[in-house]
Amino acid sequence: MLISCGAALFGLRLAVRGLGYLPQVDLFPDEARPDLIARVMLGQAVAATEREQRMLAAVPHRHTHRGAFDQGELPAGLLPGLQHDALTEGATLAVVGGPTAYPKLAALVADAARVQAVNPIVREEVLRWSRLAGSRARDGVPALAFPQAAEPGPGRLTPRDFDLGRHVGRLSAPGPAGPPPPATAVLLTAGDSRADWLHAGQALYRLLIHAATAWVFASLHSQALEVPLLRELIQTRLALPGHPQMLLQFGRARTSLATARRSVPDSLI
């Protein structure tokens, strides 16, 4: 959850820039309140840059992409830019490619899918978090955002199965003829503390918003990292220079389905 909180924190920082101020951020500011992960205040008045304005404009259509990607490579220079985003936030985005690294990663992600498919706790959590068509819930993953089939397409990592055999998913699956994602990467941090998880979340949202400015989106794969042994194997077998916090596959897409979000009052404590 701290990675998600880190992502929300970057979103707040970006919103402050949209108001024309520099955010002043203090992580874990009160030892007596361990659940208080950050204090954000308005700093110096500085107008948002053109790039920050583009990122703000991309927030409404930024989404986790579980469907098919469009044909075509990533825009020139985008991937190095995303790697720079990660470094700026204290993380590393390591690209996984070549004839040996990707198959190793794909096999470990498939192993995680098989392990979690028979885990009743995981299945119950997915059932609670997935939403049927017509649901008015303002959180969770709606049926329009996941396919019925959990089988990977060509070059696709095995996705999380939100349908669980219910045949309720409304999203078109990538299919065997769909183009593979142009890039696969792992988001890493040097350490594995609560602060590192917050940095990972901020890096994740920063690079996802940057990618969305070019209508490039990512499918996110955390299931293999939820199994400690598989997470360790991903780090060692791929010789990664840090602790893996998120697996991502990037591709172009020109469609976006809005996902319901909680209202602002419901999100405030």
3-state SS, residue 203: helix
Q: Are 147 and 173 in contact (CB under 8 A)?
A: yes
Full-model pTM: 0.90
Strands (E), the chain: 21-27, 38-45, 92-95, 130-131, 141-142, 183-189, 216-221, 243-252
Q: What is the pLDDT of residue 203?
A: 98
Q: What is the pLDDT of residue 260?
A: 65
For residue 110, give Cα distances in angstroms to 94, 106, 152: 20, 6, 9
- Residue listed under structure tokens 């909180």: 5
The b-or-e profile of 159-169 (16+ CB within 10 A means b, else e) is bbbbbeeeeeb
Average pLDDT for consecutive 10-residue bins of the chain (269 residues)? 93 96 95 92 96 95 87 95 97 93 94 89 88 82 82 83 86 74 96 96 97 95 92 96 96 74 65
Q: Are 102 and 94 in contact (CB under 8 A)?
A: no
3-state SS, residue 197: helix
For 140-194, the three-class secondary structure string (H helix, E strand, C coil) is CEEHHHCCCCCCCCCCCCCCCCCCCCCCCCCCCCCCCCCCCCCEEEEEEECCCCH
Measured distance CA(77)–CA(202) in Å, rounded = 21
Report the helix count and the strand count for the chain, using DSSP H and E.
Answer: 8, 8
Q: Which is nearest to 201 in space by CA: 2, 17, 16?
A: 2
Sheet of 183-189: strands edge to edge? 92-95, 183-189, 243-252, 216-221
Tokens of 59: 């927030």
Kind plus residue range of the DSSP H or E element containing 15: helix 2-18
Measured distance CA(184)–CA(96) in Å, rounded = 5
